[in-house]
């Protein structure tokens, strides 16, 4: 299965309800600092929304809920990997995407045979305080050479205007958060993203 080249990340199912009808085909639900039952409910609602719209849902971090709720994809950050039961994840048939920022992390992740590798932040990002300086486009090209056929996701400081350059540098997929969620017209922004990535 080929993943779509546009990969928005949202923190609530309400965003999916708004954006999936516009043609989003790959989406991550990344929930932070919510009670466990609220997270589970959000994942369940998002799973149904994605099924209704023929979209791929990637659940950030909450792999146990993803297994229990019959989801197909999870995304793990480096810290998440320390606590995750990779055997249980693989046994459940979950596909796995993982964040990387440096050589050691990439080596660690490649040994896990991931279903995609994310590299970030390609550009400076306002979303998270990160110890990594922006990676830049040459790094995207280098990472793609190293991951080979594994899909490479570029993330961090992404915008519609930067998307084409990141794809040209070697990324297979471009992921965006605040470029959409902080936009005065998120629907129009998503339409622009779809246009520039397809």
Is 186 inside a domain boundary?
A: yes
Is 47 inside a domain boundary?
A: yes
Average pLDDT over residues 55-65: 98
From first CA to last CA, the distance across the chain in angstroms is: 16
Q: Is the pLDDT of residue 150 over 70?
A: yes
Q: Is the pLDDT of residue 68 over 80?
A: yes
Q: Is the pLDDT of residue 127 over 70?
A: no
Neighbours of 124 (CB within 10 A): 10
Average pLDDT over residues 27-42: 97
Is 81 inside a domain boundary?
A: yes
pLDDT at 129: 65
* CATH, residue 76: 3.20.20.70
81 is in which domain, residue-wise?
Answer: 6-197
Catalytic residue among 5, 13, 30, 139: 30
Is 1 inside a domain boundary?
A: no
Q: Is the pTM of this model over 0.85?
A: yes
84-111: pLDDT as tens digits = 999 999 999 999 999 999 999 999 999 9
Determine whether 175 is an active site residue: no
> Hey, what's the torsion of the CAs at 130, 134, 139, 144, to 10 degrees?
50
Is 66 inside a domain boundary?
A: yes
**Contact status, residue 13 vs residue 52, Cβ threshold 8 Å:** no
Q: Is the pLDDT of residue 130 over 70?
A: no
Determine whether 87 is an active site residue: no
Catalytic residue among 46, 99, 159, 175: 99
Catalytic residue among 51, 90, 91, 128: 128
Give the number of domains in the chain.
1
Is 104 inside a domain boundary?
A: yes
Determine whether 95 is an active site residue: no
Q: Which residues pair with 153 in a beta bridge?
A: 118, 173
Instruction: With cut-offs at 50, 70 and 90, classify the pLDDT of residue 1.
Output: confident
Q: Which residues pair with 99 in a beta bridge?
A: 118
């Amino acid at each position: 299965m080929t993943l779509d080249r546009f990969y928005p990340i949202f923190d609530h199912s309400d965003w999916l309800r708004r954006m999936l009808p516009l043609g989003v085909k790959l989406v991550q639900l990344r929930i932070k600092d919510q009670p466990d039952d609220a997270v589970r409910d959000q994942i369940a609602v998002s799973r149904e929304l994605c099924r209704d719209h023929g979209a791929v849902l990637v659940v950030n971090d909450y792999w146990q809920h993803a297994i229990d709720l019959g989801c197909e994809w999870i995304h793990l950050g480096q810290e998440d990997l320390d606590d995750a039961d990779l055997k249980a994840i693989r046994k459940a048939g979950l596909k796995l995407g993982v964040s990387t920022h440096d050589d050691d992390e990439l080596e660690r992740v490649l040994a896990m045979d991931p279903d995609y590798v994310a590299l970030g932040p390609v550009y400076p990002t306002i979303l998270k305080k990160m110890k990594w300086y922006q990676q830049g486009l040459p790094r995207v090209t280098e990472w793609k050479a190293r991951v080979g056929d594994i899909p490479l996701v570029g993330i961090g400081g992404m915008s519609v205007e930067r998307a084409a350059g990141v794809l040209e540098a070697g990324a297979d997929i471009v992921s965006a958060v605040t470029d959409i969620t902080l936009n005065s017209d998120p629907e129009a922004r998503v339409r622009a993203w779809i246009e520039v990535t397809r």
